[in-house]
Every structure is written in C-alpha cells, then in structure tokens.
Amino acid sequence: MTNDDYQEAIRVLNVLLRFDANAYEAYFLRGIAKYNMDDLLGADTDFSLAIEKNPVFTNAYTYRAITRSRLGNYDDALKDFHEAIELRPDLSGPYYSRGVTRLLNKQFKEAVADFDMFIRQEKKVADAYINRGVSYLNLKDTTKAYEDFETAIRTNREDPNGYNRRSMLLMQQQRFDEAEKDLDIAISHDSTFVLSFFNRALLYSDTKRPMLALSDFDHVIKLDSTNSLTYFNRAIVRSQIGDYNRALEDYNRVVRYSPNNVLVYYNRATLYAQIGELESAISDYSHAIKLYPDFANAYLNRSQLRMILGDTKGARHDRQTAERKIAEYKSRLNDSTYSIYADTTQKFDKLLAFDTKDKGKDFNSIVNNATAKNANIKLLPLFKFTLMNADSAMIARDELYHSQRMIDFKSKINQPKLTISNKESNITPDSLIILDRNINEQLRINDDNWTLYFQRGVTQSLIKQYTNAVNTLSQAITYNPSNPFLYINRSTTRAEMIDFISSIDNSYQRITIDTDPANRLQNRSSRTYNYDDAIEDINKAIKLYPDFAYSYYNRANLHAISNQLPEAYEDYSKAIELNPQFGEAYFNRGLVQIYMKDTRKGYLDLSKAGELGIMSAYEVLKNYTND
C-alpha cells in the first residue's frame, strides 16, 4: 500500500482473511485500498466489517465517515465522526474531516467550530484555514474569511489554493488588481493548477480583456480537455467578440459532454438566432423547454422567432405560456425553491465559476464532469476452451474453481495448452497455423476421432476461420453429442463469427454505457444480428451439465447483447452461486444493473469484481464516483 499498489494489497489481504475472518485490521486496510481506488461502496462495506469485529476501532469510524461524506451520505458520516471523537477526543484528524463534511452539508457554524478545534492542535495546516475561511464566507463574514485566507498563504506560500481563494473574494469585492496579483503568484507556484488559469480567465473577462480570457481558457483546456464548464465559458466570450463559428463549436462540445443541461441549449439557440439559423434556434429553445418546462425566457424567445417565420399561432401560444410562467414566478418571489429560469430579467450570458456547479444541481447544473464517462465500457468477453501458454494468473484461476468433469475432459483431449479463458490467446498466429495443419494431418488418419475435431475447431476459431470452425465442431458433436464442452465452444465460435461480421459491417454491436450511466442499453447499429444459434448451443450445454458456472456466464452475455437484461442478471447470479470467486460475472452483472438503473447494487458488484482481481472494475468505479 505504501507503494500505491492497491490491487496487490487487496489480493494479499484476501489471502489473510480467508485464513482469519476476524482480522479486523485486514478489513480496515482493504477498505483503505478500495477507497484509494475510488471503490467507495466497497470501502464502506469493509470499514463496517472492521467495526463489527472491533466496535472501538476509532480509525475505522473516521474513514467510514470520510467515505460516506464522499458518497453524499452526510447524516451517517456525522454519526460516525461523533463515534470517533467520543472514542478519541484527543485526536485532531476527525475534527478536520467532520468540519469538511459539515461545510459540504451547509452547517457552516458547526464547521467553523470543528476547524477551530483542529487548529488548536494543528496550526500549520493551510487547508484548515482555507476551509474555515470558506465557512465564514458562507456566513457572510468576509473579514474573517479574508484573515483566514491570508493565514493560509502565510502558512504555505507555495500552495496556489490560498491565493485562489483570496483572489475569488477580492474579485467579489471588485478589487481586480489585487486579485490578479494573487492569481499570477498562484500560477508562478504551480503552472498545472487548473483553477488558477480558470479564475484568471474570469477576471480578464470581468475587466473587459476578452483575448487574455480566451488565452487562459485555452490553457485550461490543454490541461483538461473535457472540462465542460470551460468550453461553456469560452463559448460565451467568443460570442461576445463575434467569433460565432468557434463559439458554436464550443457549445456543441458541451452538448456532447452534458446533454441534459438546459443552459447550453438556451445559449446555443441565442447564438443560432444571431447568425440567422432560426430553425436551429427554435429546435434548441424547444429542447431547453423540454428539459425545463418553466423556462419563461425560452418561450418568449421562441415566440419571437416563430413570429418571424410566420407561425403566428405558435408565437401567440408561446407568449401566453411565458406570461403565465412570469405571473407564477412573481407570486412566488419569496419561495427560494422556485427556479431562476422563470425570471425573464435573468441574464444567461454571464460566465460561470466552478462553485456554480454545487448551486445548480436543483435545476440541471450547467456542467457535469463527464471526463471519464465518455469512454465506452464493455462487458468482459465469453469464456471458451482455447490454447494458452500457462502463466501464474491462469494457474491461480484454475485453483479458484474446481470442476472434475472439466478436468476429465481436458485430460481426454490431452493438449497441455488447453484451458478455459476469456482472454486472447498468447500463442503466435504462425504457431497456431502450424498446429492446425498438424491436427488436420492426424484427422486424415483418424477421421472419426472427436477429440481431434474439437482441437481443430479450437485452432480454426483462433485463426478466425469461423465458418470452418463451426463445421468442424459440429463434426465433433456428431461423434460425441452428449459432451457439454463441445457445445460451449460452438456457441462462442458462433457468437464471435457474428461479432466479426458486424465489425466488418462497421456496426459492431457491443454493450456500452453512454455518457449517462442510467441510460438504457442502446444498439449502435441500424442492423441487428441474431445470436439465437449461439444461445441454443449454450442451452444444450447447460442441459447436459447444469452445474458449470461458465455456461451461465456465457448465456448471460448473450442475453445482455440481445437486450434481455433480466435474463442476463439471473444467469450471472447463477454463475456466481456456482462459483463465488467469479470476478468476471460480478463485473458484468454490475454493468447490467447499472443499465437497469440499480446503480448502488451495480457498484457493489463492481467493487466485488475488483476485490477478486478484475482491475478494470476500479476504472469503471472511478468513472462514476468522481462526478
């Protein structure tokens, strides 16, 4: 763990826990490892197990509280902090962490009290002063906030965060020259700190220096190419200087990264109207209204455009709807929950600061950090009998799942490189071709030997001669129709052949998670491919050998790519029941549950997959827990 090799740490701790299930420190350390790999639900579970084994384990309460705070579960986090402080009131760390949680939970007075307690014991931690300063800002005490930011800077003059915080306060007070000096110093100390360039761009924009603002926004995008908020702000500045084409490019990027953000469509519609593309503008206003039906401004603007295009009836209806929304807004001016979008005096071409993200969640925040979500995340592949040069990982897998019938089958085939795997063969193509020729020579002598037909079916599949492989495996089945493993390989070969054909057709039909993890499965192609023959083969294999975990896993995959998600879930569950160490099944079941919008259970399955050695599970979890 000190070397940041958390996956290996989890593997070692799993071994320990198999021998000593009451080793509470092992659960705690495994929770720390999972936390550092962004597996927050898995970390929560392990910290809970540590507490169950040792109810006075202060660190476990503290770290579970921190984890729950990151998950947004502030009430339970605060309860855990209370337990930790009750057990060890002399420790400073829990006060700081509870202060952060209270700050996030908008309990600003209580946050100040916690940071006070921490600072009494730890006077050299700049972040404590910064967080207390932010708490004071939220309490409208700018004097104390300014003092804390200054103290933070004196405590650590190399940290850009203190300068950034002070500059933001100075900008609010329109002390732009002082704010600019702070940001210049922050950048000189750390030229990779995104917030410094972002804030300076806002300052340049506020002081009417658009070209300098654009330069800093460009630099932010170099450092973080998927930062939606920066593209949004850059689009506004570009619009202000008349660079409409590139402004439109920026808005288009934001729409791609954050397709449910109402302001993007509203602002892009305004830009379309400026450049005379009225139909596109109407379409965007309509989309904004669809996302937020109380958006009076959007109705008014669409009404004007419809009038220009001669749609007087539509224009009149929009204007009447807007007037009704405005009246409703004015009647609720004292209701703080009512959205700003009904206020027709509100301007929406103002640049947004990073802090706006937290304020905007109630009305479709302008930016969601979709950095990692844009990557397509695929199901782990089907298992099949294949040829591999053995390695330690393969040997370890064989030890985790015992099937005497499979052992007897492999012995009958008598091929040392034969194994069951869902990975690409590590044998070179040339070697596979030579092996295929040798088996073919043997078949000329023993043309009724099912083991040779099976082996040749394996080699033909590996060199992508799928049609021949299916025919050869069918010949093996003719001679040995009661062997389930022959059907398994014919099933996977048929599925691979379909995938291969569809990839050539440039419409490779894979399950992927779209930018929104709650989105339903979508086929990426207009043409669909039929996996019925592959499913029929795997059904036959299950009938012949109903206790083989890999068969259920494969059928679950085939159900999933056929959009039969409940059936896929059931089969993954059966595979896990037969093999509780089946990490790939946990991984794929987790993805299926995310598709089915049961995200919490999906995350827990991914956590278990990571615990069982599926490294990609932590990448997926990182995608969805860092929003």
Amino acid at 552: Y
Residue 265 has pLDDT above 70, yes or no: yes
Residue 281 placed within a domain? yes
Q: Tokens representing 345?
A: 């005096």
Of 371, 393, 408, which residue constitutes the final position of a domain? 371
458 and 536 in a single domain? The answer is yes
Mean pLDDT of 221-240: 90
Give tens-digit pLDDT for 273-288: 999 999 999 999 999 8
What is the three-state SS of 22-83? CCHHHHHHHHHHHHHCCCHHHHHHHHHHHHHHCCCCHHHHHHHHHHHHHCCCHHHHHHHHHH
Is pLDDT of 607 > 60?
Answer: yes
Q: What is the mean pLDDT of residues 302-321?
A: 94
The answer for residues whose C-beta is within 8 angstroms of residue 57's C-beta and 6 or more apart is 24, 28, 50, 51
Over 80: is that where the pLDDT of 624 sits?
Answer: no
Q: What is the pLDDT of residue 217?
A: 95
Q: Which of 13-22, 369-378, 392-401 has the highest mean pLDDT?
A: 13-22
Whether the per-residue pLDDT at 367 is higher than 60: the answer is no
Domain hosting 367: range is 226-371
Convert the pLDDT of each residue in 449-462 to its tens digit.
999 999 999 999 99
Query: Based on the domain organization, do 429 and 571 belong to the same domain?
Result: yes
Instruction: Give 278 or 502, the one with higher predicted confidence.
Output: 278
Q: What is the pLDDT, as a whole number, of residue 281?
A: 95
The answer on 350 and 425 residing in a single domain is no
**pLDDT above 70: residue 55:** yes
Token couple for 24: 């509470």
Strands (E), 491-615: none
Pairwise CA distance, residues 24 & 29, whole Å: 9
- pLDDT of 509 reads 29
Choosing from 326, 346, 371, the residue where a domain stops is 371
Query: What six digits make up the tokens of 297?
Result: 């401004």
pLDDT averaged over the chain? 85
pLDDT higher at 480 or 622: 480
Q: Does 464 lie in the same domain as 433?
A: yes
Residue 419 backbone dihedrals phi, psi, to 5 degrees: -150, 165
What pLDDT is stored for residue 357 in this prediction? 35
Q: How far is CA 585 from CA 214, 304, 551, 623, in A?
A: 48, 56, 11, 20
Residue 47, pLDDT > 70, answer yes
To the nearest whole percent, how much of the chain has pLDDT over 90? 64
Instruction: Tell whether the model's pLDDT for residue 416 goes beyond 80.
Output: yes
Tell me the CATH number at 349: 1.25.40.10
Instruction: In whole angstroms, give the CA distance from residue 112 to residue 130.
Output: 11
Q: 72 or 168, which is more confident?
A: 168
Q: Which residues of 3-21 are buried (b: 16+ CB within 10 A; e: fewer)?
A: eeebbebbeebeeebeeee
Average pLDDT over residues 293-313: 91
Under the banding of pLDDT at 50, 70 and 90, the label for residue 626 is low
pTM: 0.64
d(CA 500, CA 481): 27
> Same domain for 324 and 444?
no
Confidence of residue 339 (pLDDT cuts 50, 70, 90): low
* pLDDT higher than threshold 80 for residue 499: no
List pLDDT tens digits, range 95-113: 999 999 999 889 999 999 9
Residue 14 reports pLDDT greater than 60 = yes
Same domain, 480 and 606: yes
* Cα–Cα distance, 617 to 611 (Å, whole number): 9
Q: Is the confidence at residue 35, as pLDDT, over 50?
A: yes
Do both 408 and 455 map to the same domain?
yes
Look at residue 306 in the predicted model and tell me its pLDDT: 95
User: How far is it, in rounded angstroms, from Cα 61 to Cα 29?
Assistant: 13
pLDDT digits 0-9 by tens, 506-540: 332 233 232 332 332 333 333 445 788 999 999 99
Neighbouring C-alpha atoms within 13 Å toward the C-beta of 235: 29
The CB-based long-range contact list for 509-512 (8 Å cut-off, 24+ gap) reads 509/561, 510/376, 510/378, 510/379, 510/561, 511/378, 511/379, 511/560, 511/561, 511/591, 511/595, 512/376, 512/377, 512/378
Same domain flag for 367 and 431: no
Q: pLDDT at position 482, please?
A: 96
Which sign, positive or negative, has the C-alpha torsion 129, 131, 135, 140? Answer: positive
Q: What is the pLDDT of residues 236-257, one digit of tens each?
A: 999 999 999 999 999 999 888 8
Residue 178 lies in a domain: no
CA–CA separation, 138 vs 232, rounded Å? 26
> Cα-Cα-Cα-Cα dihedral of 571, 577, 579, 582, to 10°?
60
**Residue 365: its pLDDT value, please?**
28
Final residue of a domain: which of 371, 395, 427? 371
Confidence category of residue 332, pLDDT binned at 50, 70, 90: low
Instruction: Note the pLDDT of residue 368.
Output: 27
Cα 225 to Cα 235: distance, rounded to the nearest angstrom: 15
Residue 126: inside a domain: no
Residues 468 and 341 in one domain: no
Residues 447 and 313 in one domain: no
Give 74-90 pLDDT, tens digit per residue.
999 999 999 999 999 99
Closest CA to 197 of 178, 219, 165: 219
Q: pLDDT: is 352 or 458 the higher one?
A: 458
Host H or E run for residue 210: helix 210-223
Asked whether residue 219 is domain-assigned, the answer is no
Q: Which of 26-30, 264-268, 470-474, 563-567 has the lowest mean pLDDT?
A: 563-567
- Looking at per-residue pLDDT, the higher value among 36 and 259 belongs to 36
pLDDT computed for residue 247 by the predictor: 93
Q: Is 532 inside a domain boundary?
A: yes
**367 occurs within a structural domain:** yes
Rounded-to-integer distance, Cα 29 and Cα 167, Å = 40
Residue-level pLDDT at 527:
41
Residue 187, in any domain of the structure:
no
Mean pLDDT is lowest, of 169-178, 189-198, 492-501, for: 492-501
Give the pLDDT band (50/70/90) at residue 328: confident
SS3 564: coil
Q: How many C-beta neighbours within 10 Å does residue 469 have?
A: 25
Return the sign of the alpha-carbon dihedral for residues 239, 242, 248, 250: negative
Do 242 and 310 fall into the same domain?
Answer: yes
Is residue 127, in this structure, part of any structural domain at all? no
Report how many domains make up the chain. Answer: 2
In which element (H, E) is residue 419 found?
Answer: strand 418-421
How confident is the model over 187-224, as pLDDT tens digits? 999 999 999 999 999 999 999 999 999 999 999 999 98
Mark whether 467 and 535 lie in a shared domain.
Answer: yes
First vs last Cα of the chain: how many Å apart? 25
